[in-house]
Structure 1
Amino acid sequence: MRFGVLGPLLVVDGAGAGIPVVAGRSRVLLAALVARANQVVSADELAEIVWDGAPPAAAARTVRRYMTRVRRAVGAEVAERIVTRAPGYSCVAAEDEVDVLRFEALCHQGGAAVRAVDWSRAAELLGGALVLWRGTPLQDAASQVLRDAHVPRLEQLRIQALEWRIEAELHLGRHDLLVPELLALVDEHPLREHAHGLLMLALHRGGRQGEALAAFRNARRVLVAELGVEPAGPLRELHRRILAGDPALAGPPPGRGEDIAADGPTPRQLPAGSPHFTGRADALRALTDLATRAADTRNAVVISAIGGAAGIGKTALALRWSQENADRFPDGQLYVNLRGFDPAGVPVEAGAAILGFLEALGVPPARIPAGQDARAALYRSGLAGRRVLVVLDNARDAEQVRPLLPGSPGCLVLITSRSRLTGLVAVDGAHPLSLDLLSTAEARALLTRRLGVDRVAADPVAVDELTDLCARLPLALNIAAARALARPDLPLAALAGQLRAGSGRLAALDTGDATGSVRTAFSWSFRDLDADAARVFRLAGLHPGADLDRYAAAALAGLPVDRIDGLADLLTRAHLVHPRGPDRYGMHDLLRAYARDLVEEDGENGRRAASTRLFDHYLHTAAVAMDTLFPFEVHRRPRVPRPSTSIPPVTDPAAAWAWLNAERANLAAVATLAADDGWPEHATRLSGTVSRYLMGGVYAEAPVIHAAARRAARRSGDARAEATALLGIATIDYRQGRYPRAVESSRQALDLFRGLGDRAGEARALHNLGLVVMEQGHDHEAVSCLEGALVLFREVEDRAGQAKAISNLSSIALDQGRHQDAIDQNQHALDLFRELHDRTGESHTLIRLGELTSWQGRHEEAAGHLRQALALSRGTDDRSGEAHSTDTLGLVHRRQGRFEEAVDHHRRALELFRGLGDRMGEARTLTNLGELAALRQHYRDATAHYRRAVDICREIGHPSGEAAALKGLDEVAGLDVPP
């Protein structure tokens, strides 16, 4: 656990995760306690600090409330450190857990070493103190009272420590390395005579007497100009001794003891990068921006933590950028492979890595200290004032990296790791750069670079399939390319076939050596997981969808949902799963294949139990969501038992809509897997449960779910479930204009329900059939079906069904010119829908009512109905209702002569219908646009709209729509329209 105020407020829990404290006053309150860690800060003092010198009357009581918020914000582990002690509160922590305590202790020890003339220890201790600074103390605490109490003292101590450390390093003969740092120091603090003296001494010892004397003249000029005083005696005496060439000023020669020679070798340790590196333009630009920042900053070393999954190309990126930008770092480039994730399983210790760096910097082995801390101090001193690039490849964690970080500005550190290194980002200010899979274009470019333009151009379909099968993972693409190069006679389509062969995909990407196999690369990350995290990853391979939330993961693993967050964080940091939005996680296809290989160890019973828990989870959550949204139709849906694991909170309508919309692709995948792999009841129940939701415009997933349910029902001999699935299929076919198929499915469902003696099912099938034949222009049959359905709905006391039948009968009355009958029927249906709180039914009835009242010339009243319908449709996420109300509102505006508004509404409706795949709605809106264009004498546009509407109506078998569009075409024929 760590706390910090030497920069922005820092709170890191025991697992190394940074904890943000966002609220302003909560941040000030916690910062005040950390700044005085292990001391009691009274409530009155805290009130002065939090309200910046102007606390309200009841401030002490309010401080208690803020303290409660702080404890809640930081979590239970950290909250235990914030204790109540009269007359206030205290942050209890060890010295090495609080940066300001550690800084003060190191300064005290370093000062003692200076007084004891132990220059090596002084340099190490004081360097360690200064590296703790991450910026201006308390810089994000909005309290001048707090800053005034601490910042001046800490800043003075920092400057004192800096001068002591420089003085110690001068005694160690490191004068040449210190000049750049001293120039920055006197520029920042021009009135500190001691700093000017250190600069003069460093220049003199480096043989730069002229510059040393010029430094004195500059110091004198500043002091006279700013303070009107001459330099004090010690500085004047140093000036005199330099003029006199006093040999006692010479100090130890460069290179003495532990020194790194300023004129030593310039390290060039970068290995050759991949000749096949492709893409990553944005990442390369980001690294260049960081390098520019490193050149400009005088405050701290700049660090980039490049993260990503195994095989994603982290090292290739770091080396490509480093090779292209080596000239930015004239003092050298250091590189080490830390082997944090290595088949040998032995990460490089920091001390060993520093040893290699010191040798590269020219330090004789005999002069390199034995201890890691002493080596790190010498290493930091050696890089002081230099512009060096340090590449730390394949790091395991932040603790392995920290001793290797330079302590002086001007250096850039690139770190690659499969771990997210969140501690390094939180504590050390590293800039995270997370690599994702290559884009499709980048993946194709990589294969083109490897295989040549001609071979790629010869079979573009196979190339696209290869990029997909390799999940656009650079390692996998390179292995596939190597296999293709080894077999120039092998068609790329044949190679794709090898990869496509299920579990053979990872085998086909196995090179046979420990470092070149995709499976082996993944295993380096997997082997470090604890048992529960490993279980979650393995079982996630059973999930049939593209992603999953924490509740689905808990169901798969059979674990409490509150356990999943920490495990998902572990998997994310290992880059074995990837965030796909708030609390959602996914993995690319190769990782999924690897997880499925691993899950074999759970045995058939274990795998089946996990899948059953997952299917129970989706089915029950969907049932609760549907009961929340459509309680008036609960009698139509199958009853679902509660699962053994927790489900998300979906008893609020907004949450229910959000869950269904987020999970609809997963519901389709679950229905398919359940139907085909031995869970038929889950497939049929899921279809029957979410059917009403799917009718609202979820036309991509709806056919998949209902078709899966029908397959499952037929295999299990469940006639009622098959009939229900057929109704779902018919409804989507009707909505998308596939009328002959909709009629066939409706009749099949009707026969099945009648054979079962299921009067409620028979009513629904008759109603469905009536809707379809009505659109086909068979009004007599439509009336017969709808009236028959109405009788049955009344018999089984299905009021929702009654309302729908009455509402749809009103459409036929409208088409037949019986406007008052249509209005009366609509009003009756509207009353029923409102009694049932069926917002979707209410909105669709208001659309018809708006159309009817507009026909009667009551356009404002009609527009009011339609605006209500539009609001209801949007509130229930009914995109079909939104499209119909928008289109009909366009008709009303046209009749009012508001042509521009009418065009806007029709175009928006057309966009919605096309997005839904609703061909009938698209044709109707095109006809409306044609009529509007003709009214405005835009005959070419009118002709184009009508022709497209005719084509669609002929495709879907919609004679009444075709007739309306043909009538419009006849009316504009020859009116300024080319033949």
Structure 2
Amino acid sequence: MTDRAQGGGNRYAGTAQKVVQAGTVFGGIRIDTSKVPLLPAPNQLPATVAHFTGREADLRQLHSLLPDDDAHEPATLLISAIAGMAGVGKTTLATYWAHRIRDRYPNGALYVNLQGYSNEKVADPGPVLGSFLRALNVPDAEIPADVASRAALFRSLLTERRVLVLLDNAATPEQIRPLLPGSPSSLVIVTSRSRLSGLIARNGARPIFLGLLSDTEAMRLLRRIAGDARIDSEPTAATALAGYCAHLPLALCIAAARVVVNPHKAIEELVAELSAERNRLDFFNTEDEETAVRAVFSWSYRSLSPDAAKMFRLLSLYPVPVIDIPGTAALAGISKKSARDLLRLLFDGHLLESQPGSAYRFHDLVLAYASECLEADEPPSSRAEALQRISGWHEYLRLREHTVAHTTEWGRATALRQAGEHALFFHWHDEAIPLLKESATIFSTIRDHRGAGLAHLGLGEAYRKLDQQHRCIQHLQKAADEFAKANCRVDSCTALHKLGKAWARAGNPGKAQGALQHTLQIMESLGKTADADLVLKELAEITADAAPHRDRPLE
């Protein structure tokens, strides 16, 4: 194989597994040319389920991500992110598709359950990379200790290799990124209950948002598990059974399994059990917690922040199916911005479904679970307060709608004031202020001074609660002026009393004393001695506090 060439060099031709190049060698030399045993290319994909049904459109969308010609790989790494609610069949679809395209990736298929939503601890990328490296024939002694080095070695090994990587049940993009190959020759499939917006934005993942099964697909799944004969014997009951499962694949599989294991029980009897609202989720219990509907929902619930979890519970009290942002803010007693952010979090976690017009709704079974969480985790006082707020909100909507029904200006202005005062009672200032301003304008136009005074009185109260003292004083002064024009002395007392206290809060005791003294004069003329005693006490306190100070203008 070798000979000595001129110039003292070694010349070699042919192929070999091991080659030693040396100058002068002394002693006996033995070269072991036997092959080093290697593990076969990994094929870690779980088995597909026997009853896989439907999903033709989703499979077409997934397949469209692949290049038409296997000889031409894409320019960048393909990442398919399959997202959807608990029990919708993300893992089933991902596994089924991975097996269908497995021959495109001859160098192996890697799989891991990242435990993003489960009873187990969320998988750390370090041990996952260690497992992948071992499957790729890296000895334990050569596996780096830190995550960054393991990820770098993983990317190096997969360079120009065609490997399929299925990352199942992921929690966050941060958990996924160290597990991504660096070259475009491989394919990554991710499943998650999160929408993984960060993975889409930063890593170019192609999202597939998995929905519920259609009516046809739901019945086909029941047939695949329970058998045509059983379903055909009670078609009406079988259709009702699919309806109570709300077209969720996991629920349908459990219901079909109950048909199978109860051969002497009519499907109609199972439907009767399922129709009892309080027992609805009990019907979907199994001996395996991994497949019980209540359990898989609980993993999503436990992943929420405290504020989002509270919102999830309270939303089960929402009196209509479509949930909007203002109503949610009223229900929880929070700002519209906070309500919008929390609804988005629940939507991103697939605990709410989107509706047109920035609205949302619950899946029927998720609503049943939210109701259970409300009863278990929300104090009765909190539930009662939320119910009062949401009832008040819908009464407010009725009053606001009533404002357009009036044919007279006075009727419309009165309805606007009543709706505004109702909103003010519940501290919905952004709703109350525009209504009260419009009411005040109409009353002033038609010279109804008392009506205008009441509207300005409400505006003064709104700005007091918002701690906007300058605007509070402006409207209280207008209220007092309007009541004086209408010769409404009782209302004048109310406005002047509030005005005096507003001036005191604003740090102008002189103005406060003037308004309260005016209040006293009217009260004495009305014979309201008890009220006058209260105002005298307040006046004395303001006078005592103001003694060392000079009046200063409102800033």
| TM-score in terms of structure 1 length | 0.39
- Structure 2: gaps of 5 or more residues: 1-8, 22-35, 436-555
SS in 2 for 1:290: coil
For residue 347 of structure 1, the aligned residue among 84, 109, 122 is: 122
Deviation at 1:571, TM superposition (A): 0.9
Is the contact between residue 339 and residue 396 of structure 1 (CA under 8 Å) also seen in structure 2?
yes
**Is 1:417 aligned to residue 184 of structure 2?**
no
SS in 1 for 2:167: strand
Is the contact between residue 537 and residue 595 of structure 1 (CA under 8 Å) also seen in structure 2?
yes
**Is 1:451 aligned to residue 226 of structure 2?**
yes
Q: Are the structure 2 counterparts of residues 419 and 243 from structure 1 closer, same or farther at C-alpha, using a change threshold of 3 Å?
A: farther
Is the contact between residue 621 and residue 647 of structure 1 (CA under 8 Å) also seen in structure 2?
no
Q: 1:341-375 CA deviation, whole Å, 9 max, x = no partner?
A: 1112x011111111111111122222222221111
Q: Are the structure 2 counterparts of residues 384 and 607 from structure 1 closer, same or farther at C-alpha, using a change threshold of 3 Å?
A: same
Q: Are the structure 2 counterparts of residues 251 and 619 from structure 1 closer, same or farther at C-alpha, using a change threshold of 3 Å?
A: farther
- 1:466 corresponds to: 241
**Is 1:384 aligned to residue 165 of structure 2?**
no
- 1:882 corresponds to: none
Q: Distance in 2 between matches of 1:618 and 1:583?
A: 18
Deviation at 1:297, TM superposition (A): 4.3
SS in 2 for 1:413: strand
- 2:384 corresponds to: 608
SS in 2 for 1:545: coil
**Is 1:576 aligned to residue 358 of structure 2?**
no
- 1:52 corresponds to: none
**Is 1:644 aligned to residue 426 of structure 2?**
yes
- 1:326 corresponds to: 102
Q: Distance in 2 between matches of 1:278 and 1:350?
A: 33
SS in 1 for 2:112: strand
- Say which is worse superposed, 450-459 or 402-411, in terms of deviation: 450-459
- 1:564 corresponds to: 339
SS in 1 for 2:144: coil
SS in 2 for 1:515: helix
Q: 1:895-925 CA deviation, whole Å, 9 max, x = no partner?
A: xxxxxxxxxxxxxxxxxxxxxxxxxxxxxxx
Q: Distance in 1 between matches of 2:37 and 2:433?
A: 70
Deviation at 1:634, TM superposition (A): 7.6
Q: Distance in 1 between matches of 2:409 and 2:225?
A: 59
Is the contact between residue 388 and residue 411 of structure 1 (CA under 8 Å) also seen in structure 2?
yes
Is the contact between residue 294 and residue 411 of structure 1 (CA under 8 Å) also seen in structure 2?
no
SS in 1 for 2:320: coil
Deviation at 1:594, TM superposition (A): 0.4
Deviation at 1:576, TM superposition (A): 0.8
Q: Distance in 2 between matches of 1:276 and 1:632?
A: 66
Q: Distance in 1 between matches of 2:68 and 2:78?
A: 7
Q: What does 1:365-380 align with in structure 2 at a 5 Å threshold?
A: 365-380=140-155
Q: Are the structure 2 counterparts of residues 602 and 389 from structure 1 closer, same or farther at C-alpha, using a change threshold of 3 Å?
A: same
- 1:299 corresponds to: 75
For residue 589 of structure 1, the aligned residue among 355, 364, 368 is: 364
SS in 2 for 1:291: coil
- 1:728 corresponds to: none
Q: Percent identical across equivalent pairs?
A: 40
Q: Distance in 2 between matches of 1:435 and 1:634?
A: 54
Q: Distance in 2 between matches of 1:508 and 1:498?
A: 7
- 2:518 corresponds to: none
Is the contact between residue 343 and residue 514 of structure 1 (CA under 8 Å) also seen in structure 2?
no
Q: Are the structure 2 counterparts of residues 512 and 542 from structure 1 closer, same or farther at C-alpha, using a change threshold of 3 Å?
A: farther
Q: Distance in 1 between matches of 2:392 and 2:319?
A: 14
- Structure 1: gaps of 5 or more residues: 1-240, 254-260, 654-979
Deviation at 1:430, TM superposition (A): 0.5
Deviation at 1:652, TM superposition (A): 11
Is the contact between residue 67 and residue 74 of structure 2 (CA under 8 Å) also seen in structure 1?
no
Letter in 1 for 2:87: G
**Is 1:309 aligned to residue 85 of structure 2?**
yes
- 1:152 corresponds to: none
- 1:551 corresponds to: 326
**Is 1:271 aligned to residue 38 of structure 2?**
no
- 1:358 corresponds to: 133
SS in 2 for 1:409: coil
Is the contact between residue 383 and residue 406 of structure 1 (CA under 8 Å) also seen in structure 2?
yes
- Say which is worse superposed, 598-607 or 325-334, in terms of deviation: 598-607
Q: What does 1:78-117 align with in structure 2 at a 5 Å threshold?
A: none
**Is 1:503 aligned to residue 285 of structure 2?**
no
Letter in 1 for 2:147: Q
Q: 1:2-55 CA deviation, whole Å, 9 max, x = no partner?
A: xxxxxxxxxxxxxxxxxxxxxxxxxxxxxxxxxxxxxxxxxxxxxxxxxxxxxx
SS in 2 for 1:579: strand
More helix by share: 1
Letter in 1 for 2:158: L
**Is 1:437 aligned to residue 212 of structure 2?**
yes
**Is 1:400 aligned to residue 182 of structure 2?**
no
Letter in 2 for 1:616: G
Deviation at 1:603, TM superposition (A): 4.0
Letter in 1 for 2:387: S
- 2:63 corresponds to: 288
Q: Distance in 2 between matches of 1:478 and 1:647?
A: 49
Q: What does 1:193-208 align with in structure 2 at a 5 Å threshold?
A: none
| TM-score in terms of structure 2 length | 0.67
Is the contact between residue 87 and residue 250 of structure 2 (CA under 8 Å) also seen in structure 1?
yes
Is the contact between residue 340 and residue 348 of structure 1 (CA under 8 Å) also seen in structure 2?
yes
**Deviating 4+ runs (over 6 angstroms):** 241-247, 250-253, 647-653
SS in 2 for 1:541: helix
Q: Are the structure 2 counterparts of residues 284 and 652 from structure 1 closer, same or farther at C-alpha, using a change threshold of 3 Å?
A: farther
Deviation at 1:278, TM superposition (A): 1.2
Q: Are the structure 2 counterparts of residues 457 and 351 from structure 1 closer, same or farther at C-alpha, using a change threshold of 3 Å?
A: same
Deviation at 1:459, TM superposition (A): 1.6
Q: 1:637-656 CA deviation, whole Å, 9 max, x = no partner?
A: 98552252548879999xxx
Q: Are the structure 2 counterparts of residues 634 and 429 from structure 1 closer, same or farther at C-alpha, using a change threshold of 3 Å?
A: farther
Q: Distance in 2 between matches of 1:252 and 1:645?
A: 86
Q: Distance in 2 between matches of 1:646 and 1:499?
A: 41
Q: Distance in 1 between matches of 2:383 and 2:237?
A: 34
Q: What does 1:911-930 align with in structure 2 at a 5 Å threshold?
A: none
Q: Distance in 1 between matches of 2:304 and 2:427?
A: 23
Q: Distance in 2 between matches of 1:252 and 1:402?
A: 41
Q: Distance in 2 between matches of 1:439 and 1:633?
A: 52
Q: Are the structure 2 counterparts of residues 650 and 577 from structure 1 closer, same or farther at C-alpha, using a change threshold of 3 Å?
A: farther
When the two chains are superposed, the root-mean-square deviation of aligned CA atoms in Å is: 3.0
**Is 1:335 aligned to residue 111 of structure 2?**
yes
Q: Distance in 1 between matches of 2:156 and 2:19?
A: 17
Q: 1:92-120 CA deviation, whole Å, 9 max, x = no partner?
A: xxxxxxxxxxxxxxxxxxxxxxxxxxxxx
- 2:459 corresponds to: none
Letter in 2 for 1:431: R
Aligned length: 403
- 2:256 corresponds to: 481
SS in 2 for 1:380: helix
- 1:541 corresponds to: 316
SS in 2 for 1:564: helix
Higher relative contact order (CA 8 A, sep 6+): 2
SS in 2 for 1:394: strand
Q: 1:716-755 CA deviation, whole Å, 9 max, x = no partner?
A: xxxxxxxxxxxxxxxxxxxxxxxxxxxxxxxxxxxxxxxx
Q: Are the structure 2 counterparts of residues 472 and 366 from structure 1 closer, same or farther at C-alpha, using a change threshold of 3 Å?
A: same
Q: What does 1:103-182 align with in structure 2 at a 5 Å threshold?
A: none
